[in-house]
Amino acid sequence: MEYKALLFCLIASILITPLVKKLAVKIGATDQPNHRKVHQIVMPRLGGLAIFLSFATGMLFFFPESELTWPILIGATIIVITGVLDDIMELSPKLKLLGQLVATGVVVSGGVVVEFINLPFGGQIEFGILSIPITVLWIVGITNAINLIDGLDGLAAGVSSIALLTISGMAITMGNVFVVFAGFMMLGATVGFLVYNFYPAKIFMGDTGALFLGFMISVLSLLGFKNVTLFSFIIPVIILGVPISDTLFAIVRRVLQKKPLSAPDKSHLHHCLINLGYSHPETVLIIYAVASLFSLAAVIFTKTTMFGAAIVLFCLVLMIEMIVEMTGLIGKNYRPILNLIRDYRTKR
């Protein structure tokens, strides 16, 4: 049944996206090229509206009676309205954050809250009054992380699809029917849009799509892994390793450069790879591969022992560090491990 839901949203997205493209051009929701952006021509955005409409239709058709359906759809609608307004008139960061907080408040009031985690050696950590702040921080953080990686044709949609596939697949093993259906419907809607968004893109998802994808991925990952073990709580962090790490290093970079955290720049992972000489599609495919490695690591993480989990985490941290140094994600002069290897070779 879940595969029918995926196919339903996939077809709906393929059919709706061209209509949204015409609407974007008509109302002036277009992306103008500038010094920070890779594209050189005016592009229609608002494509995220097609993803949302496809998903919402699927939810109302397959899951109309779930107690989670309406809080999620209302919260998602608020997020999409925020994104649409930003795609048309470019809202201030404060107004965008306000929209995200209101949407998060709706799903939190609907029961999407992390209340505790079970410890591996028995007992549990109760979050108490911190439950809501932790949940809000997670949802808002992931929502903006997906938005930050939306810089190349098909990048955010592809990385999100990999994350959604992993979350849905793991939800099957946990028997979480709602997350399986919602995840597959989001996957179908996103892949359907990706047909028009992969290089060379015919339409951008805009903030409408990036905010909506980030919001839904954050909510589904919480529903899939909340109130579980301490180590399982790490799983969604691993699955979303690419957007989370790119966001964290963007913060570090701006702090070191003494710039505001909201200040845009052209030093994200996809920018760095292009600067190294990779083409637009090659850069996207490389990041897809990295995202897939994170997802594979998350799956291994759930099947291994505590010692094995520690090894997986060590390998992930080492991989991230090497990517940072090789791409210059923090800065061209930050290369501690590469310099150590170079010095060792020189002495030999």
Phi first, then psi: give them for residue 31, nearest 5 degrees.
Answer: -105, 120
Residue 231 in contact with residue 301, Cβ under 8 Å?
yes
Strands 116-118 and 43-44 come out as: unpaired
Considering only CA atoms, which of 264, 253, 251, 243 is closest in space to residue 138? 243
The Cα–Cα gap between 281 and 298 comes to: 26
**Which residues, including other chains, have CB under 8 Å from residue 43's CB and lie 6 or more apart?**
30, 31, 201, 203, 204
SS3 content of the chain, % helix, strand, coil (to 5): 70, 5, 25
Strands 43-44 and 30-31 come out as: antiparallel
Tokens of 257: 């450069």
Question: Which residue is associated with the tokens 């560090």?
Answer: 321
The Cα–Cα gap between 213 and 161 comes to: 9
Q: Is 86 assigned to a binding site?
A: no
Question: Which residue is associated with the tokens 């849009």?
Answer: 193
Residue 145 in contact with residue 247, Cβ under 8 Å?
yes
Q: For the purposes of burial, counting CB atoms within 10 Å of the CB of 97, is it exposed (0-12), middle (13-18) or buried (19 or more)?
A: middle
CB atoms < 10 A from the CB of 75, how many? 25
Residues pairing with 44 in the sheet: 30
Q: For the purposes of burial, counting CB atoms within 10 Å of the CB of 237, is it exposed (0-12), middle (13-18) or buried (19 or more)?
A: middle
The Cα–Cα gap between 233 and 152 comes to: 30
Q: Is 246 assigned to a binding site?
A: no
Considering only CA atoms, which of 96, 101, 74 is closest in space to residue 85? 96
Residues placed in the known binding site for Mg(2+): 147, 207
Residues placed in the known binding site: 147, 207
